[in-house]
Amino acid sequence: MNDNYIAGQWVAGPDTTLNINPSDTRDVVGEYSRASRAQAEDAIAAARHALPRWAAFTPQQRADALDAVGSEILARKVELGDLLAREEGKALPDALGEVLRAGQIFKFFAGEALRVPGEALASTRPGMNVAITREPVGVVGIITPWNFPLAIPAWKIAPALAYGNAVVFKPAELVPGCAWALAEIFSRVGLPAGTFNLVMGSGRELGQVILNDPRVDAITFTGSETTGRKVAQAAVGRPGAMARFQLEMGGKNPLVILDDADLSTAVECAVNGAFYATGQRCTASSRLVVTEGIHDRFVAAMVERMRALKVGDARHPATVIGPVVDANQLQQDLSYIALGKAEGAELVSGGEHRATIDGQPGHYLEPTLFTGTTNAMRINREEIFGPVASVIRARDADEALEIANDTAYGLSAGVCTTSLKMASLFQRHLQAGMVMVNAPTAGVDPHVPFGGRKASSHGPREQGRYAADFYTTVKTAYVNP
Ligand code: TXE
């Protein structure tokens, strides 16, 4: 049995979840404990209790613990990549890439534990000195989605611990395997009991306990916009001190392809951005905004390229596109495909659900491309979160930029062009937290800030040195010696 990890102990919950492989729904990855509300409260109490003991660790001890976690993740890359591919359905090369990234993130924040920034300034008052230091925020509640079962927990847990906070981690229901594997590694690196806690189970129950408990000082959340809003409401609606909160939510990311783009670069960026990881990335290129002069050549090359995308078991070496994560998500994707047709979009590739591949029952969906779409259609305004992309035709670069920015979201945006002038123009004017030039909108480095604008994000950036802004609180001290 794979139990919850609370106050340094493995704790069984009142019931369990079966973790099902979306590539073969007959395959049970494992049985995982679900925590009760009372156990989530125990985890919060344990984290509060651990805070002063974790704070007493030297920066070097904190760095060593995080470095040990990173080293073990990297050493077990193949095994953890296989687990990730099996429980989430991400094709093995992407799954291995995610494990690598998770390991690198722990290594990066091991270094950051030794470099907690501060400043010393002279005061405007004679003889006075000013010291600006960063202190831990306290107990951090970490609520994560299923689409990056290892990397997203890593980029929240690593900085939380590096800066001296204690953690209560509630992973998505669909992917307890990677979360449990991470907890098991943490159980062996010598943290004070309660510094890191894992509670598995429902967001509506356990997530809500974390949101409402005044002993949780900060909440970092990645997931849907609907749940993100609930997090915000709970954080500000608490009696007494409001919780600090940070939200990473959806995207409707544009990839602009201009007339002068290199065609094969554009097709590779679009295929990777739209369909890899089965399109289940908040940074996925779901709107392909293509100018007049290259439109027909681009669509023809895309359709040709998409034929070569092998859909299948995430762990099969030939697979490029794994299954959709579960039956609910598949249903959502299929209903958007039906909506696209009803809105008058032309389906030029894919769109078919395949109930079995190579005799295996799974949630398979052919990568899907619509053309003849307008930016006003719902398929171009709402996050589908599957292997579904639309081509939107634009008259010229100006109109393409306008369409790209005409969205409620602002996470990632890209442009394919061979013109330095156009690249610079789009880099400056795309309204997104991340801009990619001749690169897919998805796929980011582990050591630089991640996050968006508008409805995509709220609060400070994640990752890189910018993570300190969320996981520390600033103290300004005036000293008259
Ligand atoms: O998200 P949720 P789900 C989108 C995508 C997907 C849809 C639903 O469209 O189809 O969201 O996915 C926890 N209080 N994205 O169900 O519900 C929940 O247990 C506190 C886009 O996974 O937002 C999980 O741990 N917590 C997104 C986490 O919140 C609650 C990535 C995310 O779950 C809660 C994932 C509550 N009331 C989904 N309800 C992206 N763009 O990256 C749920 N949770």
Mean pLDDT along residues 24-37 = 98
Domain of 259 in residue numbering reads as: 254-437
Q: Residue 101: how many CA atoms within 13 Å on its side-chain side?
A: 23
Are residues 83 and 184 located together in one domain of the fold? yes
Shared domain for 83 and 230, answered yes or no, is yes
Same domain, 397 and 414: yes
Q: Is the CB of 211 under 6 A from ligand 1?
A: yes
Q: Does 451 reside within a domain?
A: no
Residue 450, domain member (yes or no): no
Q: Is 207 in the pocket of ligand 1 (CB under 6 A)?
A: yes
Closest ligand 1 atom to Cα of 227? 23
Query: Which residue has a Cα nearest atom 27 of ligand 1?
Result: 223
Looking at the structure, do residues 313 and 219 belong to the same domain, yes or no?
Answer: no
227 within ligand 1 shell (Cβ under 6 A): yes
Residue among 211, 251, 279, 181 nearest 410 (CA): 251
Q: What is the domain-level CATH number for residue 34?
A: 3.40.605.10
Number of domains into which the chain is organized? 2
Ligand 1: residue of 34, 87, 88, 143 to mutate (most ligand atoms within 8 A of CB) is 143
Please report the pLDDT score of residue 310 as a whole number: 98
Tens of pLDDT, residue by residue over 55-113, are 999 999 999 999 999 999 999 999 999 999 999 999 999 999 999 999 999 999 999 99
The first and second tokens of residue 35, run together, are 């925590």
For residues 186 and 214, membership in a common domain is answered with yes
Question: Which uninterrupted H or E stretch holds 75?
Answer: helix 59-75
Residue 448 lies in a domain: no
Residue 427: per-residue pLDDT: 98
Q: Which of 230, 252, 234 is nearest to 242 (CA)?
A: 234
Do 239 and 302 fall within a single domain? no
Confidence of residue 1 (pLDDT cuts 50, 70, 90): confident
Identify which of 357, 262, 375 has the alpha carbon closest to the alpha carbon of residue 316.
Answer: 357
Question: What pLDDT is recorded for position 144?
Answer: 98
258 and 238 within one domain: no
Tell me, in angstroms, the distance from the centre of ligand 1 to residue 158's CA.
Answer: 21
Kindly give the distance from the C-alpha atom of residue 318 to the centroid of ligand 1, in angstroms, as a whole number: 30
How many A from CA of 145 to the centre of ligand 1?
5
Q: What is the mean pLDDT of residues 222-229?
A: 97
Give yes or no: residues 140 and 155 share one domain: yes
**Residue to mutate, 226, 227, 247, ligand 1, most ligand atoms under 8 Å from C-beta:** 227
223 pocket-lining for ligand 1 (C-beta < 6 Å): yes
Does the Cβ of 146 fall within 6 Å of ligand 1?
yes
227 and 296 both lie in a single domain: no
pLDDT of residue 307: 96
Q: Indicate which residue's Cα is closest to atom 37 of ligand 1.
A: 204
What is residue 380's predicted lDDT score, i.e. its pLDDT?
A: 98
Q: Residues 262-270: what's their mean pLDDT?
A: 98
> For 272-288, how does the pLDDT look when each residue is reduced to its tens digit (9 = 90+)?
999 999 999 999 999 99
Say if ligand 1 is within 6 A of residue 87 CB: no
The identity of residue 475, as a single letter, is K
Entry pTM = 0.98
* Residue 385 counted as domain residue: yes
Whichever domain contains 348, its CATH number is 3.40.309.10
Shortest-distance Cα residue to atom 20 of ligand 1? 207
User: Does ligand 1 have an atom closer than 6 angstroms to the CB of 459?
Assistant: no
Q: What is the pLDDT of residue 135?
A: 97
Span between the terminal Cα atoms of the chain, in Å: 59
Classify residue 193: in a domain, yes or no: yes
Calculate how far, in angstroms, residue 144's C-alpha sits from the geometric centre of ligand 1: 8
For residues 105 and 185, state if they share a domain.
yes
Position in ligand 1 atom list of the atom nearest CA 249: 41
Using DSSP's 3-state secondary structure scheme, residue 225 falls into helix
Residue 254 CB less than 6 A away from ligand 1: no
Instruction: Compute the distance between CA of residue 379 and CA of residue 345 in angstroms, rounded to an integer.
Output: 9
The average confidence (pLDDT) of the chain is: 98
Q: Give one DSSP letter per residue of 247-298, joined into a string.
A: EE----EEEEE-TTS-HHHHHHHHHHHHHGGGG-STT-EEEEEEEHHHHHHH
Which amino acid residue places its CA nearest to atom 11 of ligand 1?
224
Catalytic site residues? 248, 282
DSSP 18-51: EEE-TT-TT-EEEEEEE--HHHHHHHHHHHHHHH
> What DSSP letter does each residue of 138-158 carry, written as one string?
-EEEEE--SSSTTHHHHHHHH
Whether residue 333 is found in the same domain as residue 427: yes
**DSSP three-state, residue 4:** strand
Same domain for 108 and 211: yes
* 310 within ligand 1 shell (Cβ under 6 A): no
In angstroms, what is the span from residue 204 Cα to ligand 1's centroid?
10
Atom of ligand 1 nearest to the CA of 202: 19
Average pLDDT over residues 183-211: 98
Query: Is 56 within a domain?
Result: yes
Between β-strands 166-170 and 139-143, what pairing exists: parallel, antiparallel or unpaired? Answer: parallel
Beta bridge partners, 134, equal 474
Asked if residue 180 belongs to a domain, the reply is: yes
In a domain, 446, yes or no: no
d(CA 350, CA 391) in angstroms, rounded, equals 14
